[in-house]
Structure 1
Amino acid sequence: MKQPVVLVLTTLVVALQFLQGNTCLGQCPAKISFSLTAALRQPACVTELNLRGQNLELLPGKVEELQRLRLLFAHENHLRHLPDNLAQLDSLRVLFVNKNSLLDLPPAIGNLRRLRQLQIEQNLLTELPPSIGGLDSLRYLMSAYNNFTSLPEQVGQLTQLEYCDISHNQLLFLPASLGHLRRLRYVYLNDNKLQRLPARLEGLTQLEELNLSNNQLEELPASLGSCQNLKVLILSGNQLRALPNSLGKLQALEMLIVNDNQLTALPRSLRKLKKLKTVIVKQNAFTPAARRQAEAALPGVNLYF
């Protein structure tokens, strides 16, 4: 049976009104914008905004109008602050603001519940706001080359975090909650001022690579031996006099680098590690007898003294 003419016309009118009202379907030439001015002319259209290297000193408050924005690249500019309402971009997945002059982050940045990647390295940041714990979709956190002296306990709420780079900062200690991040795979904490690690790290069951070089560590917690997926452990440039016997539990460990410490021996438990291929312990305090003992205990390992 044919539809009545009135019904057909009504359907067409509704469809036209929908297209006119929906800018993205009716008028959008592209989804990517390289100009903030152009993006704000059609805010409902833009899903990606690339403002890299445009000498920007600020982002206008109207950025909140870009409600469909998923990727924002604003790195290599001169930004000192981000607008508070940036935290209202509910669709944002990726935020690049590295290589600016940022002094702080919006207090409500934790409202970006869909954010997966946050790049804030090479800025002038001294702290992360406590709301950072609200980023429960965050998988990649890149924050090297800032001025952090500590991290908030709320970092332990980033349950999806897999990659964390907080190297080249001024960290003196780490929050105990760091040990709760069960999805962490790659952690870079090198070139800080860490004097100790959290006592309980057994929750880091997926950790594959840990770089703690160039800190001020004098000992390691025994719980480090519970990180059974750890493949690469870098401890160079600390003040370690001994390594814990619990390292013998790291059945996946392939490479151990402990240059520039104060070691006089390696733990005998390392002989249990069937996958261990390389141990680098240059610039330590091994006697010739200690070297021979290590070589005899680890015959299949490439040892570098």
Structure 2
Amino acid sequence: MMYEQRQQQMMNRVDRRKINGDRRKAIEEERLEVVDLSGMSLETLPHPSLNLATICKLYLSNNDLQMIPESLTARMLNLVVLDVHSNQLKSLPNSIGCLSKLKVLNVSGNLIESLPRTIENCRCLEELNANFNKLSRLPDTIGFELVNLKKLSVNSNKLVFLPMSTSHLTSLKILDARLNNLRSLPEDLENLINLEVLNVSQNFQYLEALPYAIGVLISLVELDVSYNKITTLPDSMGCLRKLQKLYVEGNPLISPPMEVVERGLHVVKEYLSEKMNAGHKSPTKKSWVGKLVKYGTFNGRRIGSRKDRQWFHVSPDHYHSFDGVASPGYDRKSSKYTGNRSIEGLASPRHLRMFSPRRLFSSKNFF
């Protein structure tokens, strides 16, 4: 009885602390300010009469600002949204790295040629819009730090390449890089396991090929590669089970031919799947794709025979399908993690290249 009373007293204390914490948080949020100075033809920012640390959202769009003072951003420690689109900014202050709570940054419609490397310190950032600027490159290590980024929009710039670290943006859902000068895409795209929309259209005479890793983007729903110089779609695209929209017009396509494209997405995927399968029918080839196709992994079926399961060294209870609905690391009967890595684990930055397209689609013997 004494034990039960003591337990109840402890629970009551925890509840009171939680309630008090929630109250403090609510009071702090009430004190935060939303400041909207949009469309006021401002050339410089007025001296603020309020405490900069109390601003949570700052809207400065549609003005004539040419710079943002370093001291301004350095003191806005609670800023969550910063919108400065449609100004005359040529750069962003290095102190933008002090905005540790920033979630949305909109700098579109300016004259920015490069983003400060300190932007990588904004680790809470979920949306970055830098459309319609003069960006020729992004910070090399941007993907290593912005681990919470869900939307990256950099269309209508002068980008020649996306940094290799882009493949580490494992939370990314939307990547819009159309209307640039892209020559190629990063090879290790398979790490973008949450990517749903990829738009690299209208890079015109520059983009001539897509990486094979594009076929391992297990969450991809929409792909726009229109108006480039692509002649061949990777066979691996036949594995994009969730793909619902595909735009390829304006390319000199040879494979698949236009008569196949005109018959619809499902016909394109069937064509690419058959082409991939046909390329791995030879018994002398033992590439990753050959194994995955042979054992029904690409179409999401489970391995059926006992012999197949022995080849993969997993028990029937541990094996699930390739598409990430479940993983080999989870035992449904015991509800325990067995240690076998899931596709998501293999596709994480920690295991970079362990499941790379160079291994997936190579004709070298790995077995």
Provide TM-score, normalisation by structure 1. Answer: 0.73
For 1:120, the equivalent position in structure 2 comes to 107
- CA apart distance, 1:207: 0.5
Q: 2:185 maps to what in 1? A: 197
- Report how many aligned residue pairs link the two structures: 238
1:223 pairs, out of 185, 210, 213, with: 213
Name the structure 2 match of 1:172. 160
Show CA shifts across 1:11-33 (max 9, x none): xxxxxxxxxxxxxx9xxxxx7xx
For 2:251 and 2:78, the matched residues in 1 are separated by 47
Give the match for residue 246 of structure 1. 236
Match of 1:54 among 25, 40, 48: 40
Deviations 1:88-130 (A, max 9, x none): 2110000000000001000121110100000000000000000
Of all paired residues, the percent bearing the same amino acid is 33
Alignment of 1:1-305 (within 5 A): 47-60=33-46, 65-85=51-71, 86-156=73-143, 157-215=145-203, 216-266=206-256, 286=257, 291=259, 295=263, 298=266
> 2:82 is matched by which residue type in structure 1?
L
Letter in 2 for 1:209: V
Aligned-residue offset at 1:223: 1.1
- Distance, in Å, in 2 between the alignment partners of 1:84 and 1:296 is 53
Instruction: State the one-letter code of the partner of 1:58.
Output: T
Instruction: Assess if the C-alpha contact under 8 Å between 2:260 and 2:268 holds in 1.
Output: no
C-alpha separation in 1, matches of 2:264 and 2:200: 28
Please report the TM-score for the alignment, with normalisation by the length of structure 2.
Answer: 0.61
Moved over 2 A (4+): 60-65, 292-301
Q: Is the 8 A contact 1:132 1:154 kept in 2?
A: no
- Counterpart residue type for residue 150 of structure 1: R
CA positional deviation for 1:250: 1.2
Contact 1:61 1:83 in 2 (8 A): no
Q: Say whether the 8 Å CA contact 2:197–2:223 is kept in structure 1.
A: yes
Greater share of residues in helix: 2
In structure 2, how many angstroms separate the alpha carbons of the residues matched to 1:291 and 1:176? Answer: 35
Q: Is the 8 A contact 2:261 2:267 kept in 1?
A: no
Q: State the secondary structure of the residue aligned to 1:54.
A: coil
Cα distance change of structure 1 residues 101 and 63 upon mapping to structure 2, 3 Å threshold: farther
